[in-house]
Structure 1
């Protein structure tokens, strides 16, 4: 893999984008960028605080703007779970990177999210986790260049699988 490569990780919250992303970037000698952290730095608030202060649509707008404004060089980018609601942001990522979908079953994400109850998930007040999951899956599949199943697979193993799959493209 060339050192000028860009890999964007998409997937539901709890799918392991940040964990796998750090390991993948280290393995490839690339910068790691977590867009959730960029959002929190820009807004001086956690994702949950941003949602509580306004609404999930505002978080999605901020996420889109961060992705459109940030310089993208050789890196591994961990995106927010709701990035797929922005065709404009996804078009940019598709143009400059290999988009890898970390696919986790509903049972897996439900469990992992239960371990971090303060996690900010961009959703309407009347939407259940299952509703959001069902709504997003087709979007992740639509934008993915590569799909990797993450259930019961260690993050280091996933980083190796992604490296091999990107190399094979």
Structure 2
């Protein structure tokens, strides 16, 4: 298991800390949301608009499931935990790290979540999404890092000590 996969809510800092973590540990870095955008030739929000929620999740599952790398930090989209094949692949090939934050912190960090390409069901609030996803993050994580009150450097250090 020489990869590190970062999971957590949108706004948890997966991409930001992932780049720094990769530099410090001498690893490569991949943002799976960017892989999805590259494959589809569209922004995440536009893929969701075009394909619908289930269509987007099928694409997200395929892209993440097909990642085959070594010595790499992989920042995932927050909805990857709905993608069973992808998550089972990551559990086999990587250390999965859940960056855990309170709902209040996530809410404060996120602006327009639809602009960010967040997968939301019709009528679903950010709080509903938080309650739905947190148990899935915990289910798939090898390591849970409480990031509450931590800056990016502190979070990176906390993750690097646990992996």
TM-score interval for Structure 1 and Structure 2 normalised by the shorter chain:
over 0.9
How far the C-alpha of 1:116 sits from its partner, in A, is 6.5
Match in the other structure for 1:105: 102
- Aligned mate of 1:142, from 130, 133, 139: 139
Unmatched 5+ stretches in structure 2: none
Match in the other structure for 1:59: 56
Match in the other structure for 1:24: 21
- The alignment of Structure 1 onto Structure 2 pairs a total of residues equal to 163
Alignment check: 8 A CA contact 1:24 1:159 kept? yes
How far the C-alpha of 1:55 sits from its partner, in A, is 1.1
What is the TM-score of this pair, normalised by structure 1?
0.92
Match in the other structure for 1:35: 32
What is the TM-score of this pair, normalised by structure 2?
0.95
How far the C-alpha of 1:64 sits from its partner, in A, is 0.5
Match in the other structure for 2:150: 153
How far the C-alpha of 1:72 sits from its partner, in A, is 2.0
How far the C-alpha of 1:128 sits from its partner, in A, is 0.9
Structure 1 runs of 4+ off > 2 angstroms? none
Unmatched 5+ stretches in structure 1: none
Distance 2:135 2:160 in 1: 24
What pairs up with 1:88-103 in 2 under 5 angstroms? 88-103=85-100
Distance 1:5 1:70 in 2: 13
Distance 2:144 2:35 in 1: 25
How far the C-alpha of 1:151 sits from its partner, in A, is 2.2
Distance 1:66 1:34 in 2: 11
How far the C-alpha of 1:101 sits from its partner, in A, is 0.2
How far the C-alpha of 1:54 sits from its partner, in A, is 2.4
> What's the Cα RMSD here?
1.4
Distance 2:108 2:16 in 1: 16
Please tell me whether residue 6 in structure 1 is matched to residue 3 in structure 2: yes
